[in-house]
């Protein structure tokens, strides 16, 4: 029976076909007279000429050949090909800018079309499938991601992409971007840290007193069902009244809008995953392992610290991972009540019909969520391997 590494892979050809169709049917980029006007879209051939279209098409054909033919080390070759393609993909926009951007217009810029994003999406899926076929380690996966990020960063700093609308939006708001990053991280990670302490304490209380399990889980589950905007709004009135009654709270920044209601809402949303995972993990520690610890003369505290907690740690980290990703996303919505963060750019862009300003807030939010997922997944893997 042939090994699975020699059998043809059907997933990658399907993804390559979808990427090929999107690249030829959708716009690679858009030439905009200014930041507001939608502009004129250009497909792959119109944007990059036969050279760019031929390179992209040849790459997808090569991926199909490597996925279907019994070539030695084909998945390693495919991983290298896809990683290089993703690293260099922004160069397509540079070629597009050199070919189509008018030189006599001070305000003209290029926008990123749907075809570009679809190509990046399908190439990423193909790379994930390839790494899965290789059974790649976490270190190899992280190395591929870092190479791709470094490639995009290098391309973004080149002079040829200075006319990219997204880069111009960043250049006009560099200081605001840094401030938004600090606020976004402090709100989301601060809420997760506080929730971790509270949820861990509540989970221990449920483990020691079973009668507390139903009311505590019911309470945090109820808070999870409240829509985010509704919870932000519900906190405005009581915090506003509290800051009016105690003026010294206003000096701390605690008022009806701003960081205070956002932090409280994020903490409320973050409690359930951590508390539930911690409780389940501690309750499912095998009893024979606990009995063995007692037989060795360990105290209950030693059993908890040296036996139960290490065994429960991967499940607890999984709850923290889910909570962190959720908090990063919800922090963007908190900009509606003046909390700041990347959501400020998103809602400003929606109000001004400037989609690249929306991307300036949305893309970093997505990147932070992916980074948190990768880091916490690696920690969970290490904890499970010990």
Q: How would residue 384 be classed by pLDDT, with cut points 50, 70 and 90?
A: low
Reported as a single tens digit per residue, the pLDDT across 221-257 is 888 888 777 777 777 777 777 777 777 777 766 777 7
Whether 106 shows a pLDDT value over 90: the answer reads no
Q: How far apart are the C-alpha atoms of 260 and 240, rounded to whole Å?
A: 10
Q: Which two tokens stand for residue 313?
A: 């740690």
Sheet holding 29-32, edge to edge: 40-42, 29-32, 109-112
Q: How would residue 192 be classed by pLDDT, with cut points 50, 70 and 90?
A: very high
Do 35 and 173 form a contact (C-beta atoms < 8 A)? no
Q: How far apart are the C-alpha atoms of 354 and 336, rounded to whole Å?
A: 18
Whether 135 shows a pLDDT value over 50: the answer reads yes
Round the CA-based radius of gyration of the chain to a whole number and report it: 26
Do 364 and 342 form a contact (C-beta atoms < 8 A)? yes
Average pLDDT, the chain: 85
Q: Which two tokens stand for residue 183?
A: 């606020």
Question: According to DSSP H, which parts of 246-337 are helical?
Answer: 248-251, 259-283, 287-295, 300-303, 309-333
Q: Of 300, 237, 233, 219, nearest to 262 (Cα)?
A: 233
Q: Is 4 helix (H, G, I), strand (E, B) or coil?
A: coil
Q: Of 13, 17, 20, nearest to 129 (Cα)?
A: 13
Backbone angles phi, psi at 294, to 5 degrees: -65, -40
Q: Is 112 helix (H, G, I), strand (E, B) or coil?
A: strand
Share of the chain above pLDDT 90, in %: 27
H helix or E strand, kind and range, residue 111: strand 109-112
Backbone angles phi, psi at 195, to 5 degrees: -65, -35
CATH 1.10.3720.10 in the chain, residue ranges? 174-385
CATH superfamily of 174-385: MetI-like (1.10.3720.10)
DSSP letters for 41-75: EE-HHHHHHHHHHHHHHHHHHHHHHHHHS--TTHH
């Amino acid at each position: 029976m042939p090994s699975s590494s020699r059998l043809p892979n059907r997933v990658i050809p399907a993804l390559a076909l979808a990427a090929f169709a999107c690249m030829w049917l959708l716009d690679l980029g858009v030439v905009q007279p200014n930041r507001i006007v939608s502009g004129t879209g250009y497909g792959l051939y119109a944007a990059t000429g036969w050279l760019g279209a031929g390179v992209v098409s040849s790459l997808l054909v090569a991926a199909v050949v490597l996925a279907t033919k019994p070539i030695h080390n084909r998945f390693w070759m495919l991983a290298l090909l896809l990683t290089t393609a993703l690293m260099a993909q922004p160069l397509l926009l540079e070629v597009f800018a050199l070919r189509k951007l008018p030189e006599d217009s001070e305000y003209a810029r290029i926008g990123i079309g749907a075809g570009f994003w679809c190509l990046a999406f399908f190439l990423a899926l193909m790379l994930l499938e390839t790494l899965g076929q290789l059974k790649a380690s976490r270190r190899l996966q992280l190395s591929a991601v870092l190479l791709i990020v470094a490639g995009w960063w290098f391309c973004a700093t080149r002079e040829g992409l200075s006319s990219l609308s997204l880069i111009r939006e960043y250049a006009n708001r560099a200081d605001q971007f840094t401030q938004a990053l600090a606020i976004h991280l402090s709100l989301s990670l601060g809420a997760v840290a506080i929730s971790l302490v509270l949820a861990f304490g509540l989970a221990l209380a449920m483990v020691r007193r079973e009668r507390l399990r139903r009311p505590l889980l019911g309470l945090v589950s109820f808070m999870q069902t409240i829509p985010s905007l509704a919870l932000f709004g519900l906190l405005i009135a009581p915090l506003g009244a509290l800051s009016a009654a105690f003026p010294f709270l206003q000096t701390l920044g605690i008022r009806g809008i701003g960081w205070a209601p956002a932090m409280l809402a994020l903490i409320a949303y973050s409690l359930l995953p951590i508390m539930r995972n911690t409780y389940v993990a501690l309750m499912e520690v095998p009893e024979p392992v606990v009995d063995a610890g007692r037989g060795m003369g360990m105290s209950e505290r030693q059993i908890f610290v040296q036996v139960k907690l290490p065994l429960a740690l991967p499940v607890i980290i999984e709850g923290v991972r889910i909570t962190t990703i959720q908090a990063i996303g919800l922090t963007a919505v908190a900009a509606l009540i003046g909390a700041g963060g990347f959501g400020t750019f998103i809602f400003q862009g929606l109000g001004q019909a400037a989609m690249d300003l929306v991307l300036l807030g949305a893309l970093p939010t997505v990147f932070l969520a992916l980074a948190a997922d990768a880091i916490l997944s690696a920690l969970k893997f290490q904890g499970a391997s010990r």
